[in-house]
A and B are shown apart, each in its own frame.
Chain A
Amino acid sequence: MSLGFDGLGAAFFDGDSPEPQEVSLHIADGMLQIGLDHGPTLRWPVEDIRQLPDLAGNAGVVLRLTTDPVARLYLTDHAVLSHLPHLTRRAPPKGRGRLAAWALAAVAAVAVQIGFLIPLLADNLAGFIPPEGERALGEATFGQIREALDDTGLNPLPICEQPDGTAAIDRLVTRLGGARDFDRDVTVFVLDHPMVNAFALPGGFVVLFRGLIDAADGPDEVAAVLAHEIGHVISSDPTRHALRSAGSIGILGLLFGDFAGGAAVLLLTERLISAQYSQAAEKGADDFAHALLAQAGINPGALGDMFASMKAEYGDAEGVVAHFLSHPSLDERIQASRAVVDQDASYQASMTPQDWAALQNICNPAAS
């Protein structure tokens, strides 16, 4: 039995010439018979016929044969379609092994880059940047941070520089340094911001927030944080981190392409990477601070006390969230710090009461 269809408007393209050929269409014996008006009748097995997907409009359909990559049949009579059973069946994907190999290579290339080559290069090159270069890098970053933290969006966050307060900081740095002279390597700034935090930047910039001084329970805790940040400066962690970011940000931008602007994913991932980096560096800086404090005759447990008050302020972050914060779990660090306290030693306060008072008022012009 043979079924006939409307061939009006239908056209066959043989895959060689762009000339449409008029056709008559029948289905018989499981074959779509395509009768060319000026030529032979072609027979396409109905189960091997596929329909081109995502065609715009309802004006027609395009059919192809799985065994012929180029021949096309353009139809306007949709009644044919119900007789073709596998119109949307997909061909088994070709070259899966090749795809998997390149996928693996891409993942490996990125992993080697971010996890090994870039850190290696950054760590080695960080030592070769001349001090002026590091300072320029630090100044640029410091400026950006001051602008980013400002709520009004007009002026950069002010630096606190009451003379008595800065003199107190200078004396503290000298005392922490002892025989080693930190004065040339380290520049300390206090920013007028309520955040309980401190950080180091390339070029020996150490930045304390006013919030940290306010939250500190006595001068030793500030001294401990300062010693910790000096530890970062001495091992040039900030410079490495800056170089490392420069390399890895470009790569991550490459990976995520223009997908949703990429920025959000980028930021999140970069944060993850730097957090992993920082955990080792934080531990090193903690150890450095313990040694420095003990050597200057200041109670190294003060670092733990500072962390304890930070924890009281913000709570501890553990689990998933901890991974995204740059600091390892505070509890571990508090314990580590208290463990190095020598019960027999006689520690002295890091500052005189006058100096401590001056530091507490460093952001307060009325006090002096």
Chain B
Amino acid sequence: MLIELKNIVKNYDNGGVVTKVLRDVNLSVEEGEFVAIMGPSGSGKSTLMHTIGFLDRPTSGTYLFDGENTEGFSDDELARIRNNRIGFVFQSFNLLPRTSVLDNVMLPLMYNNSKANQEHRAKVALEAVGLGERLNFMSNQISGGQKQRVAIARALVCDPKVIFADEPTGNLDSKSGSTVMNILEKLNKEGRTIILVTHDKQVALHANRIVTIRDGEIVSDVLVPESERVHSKEIKDDTDL
């Protein structure tokens, strides 16, 4: 089991007013799964993703990652897990401005213990998302779809076990969105675990399992029959070479 959440509770304390964001969440994800977490805004799906992604600590409960209990891990240990076991893809891309595509992809490697072949590894990651030719473009010189692909390359570069994608198509037109989903599907086929957060059913149907969360509780957890799964094609961006 790659991810095992047991009785996870997350409360936010806003000046004495306690908001219960996650109430007793239990969730297991196996290696190689493609899980979509769905729910309306305010349902706690983002908090859930942040907790699974070690960006946030649960108030109580146990989190086993790759069989290891992560309770009591120091901030530095969590940073290390984020760096080489997890890749993040955000809705708004979050690329460094005034920085080349290559340098953006190399950024996680800078915080990585393995210093060898950084540039080569970044190029391989960029080729995997079809951007091997755009290494020296500045992050503001490329289209939104390409930005998200750079972000996926950045998530891939440390060869993580799992990729978290938080509304990865939220800021994209349907063509670019389709290309991005196609890449995620491909990565999943190659054996990488994908956890996707979305409120869009069509996007969620790319996954093989949909977890629905409402008011901080998991209300459904179903496998998607192969017949209902959506598969996106790679659609060439107008600006692609």
Q: A and B bound?
A: no
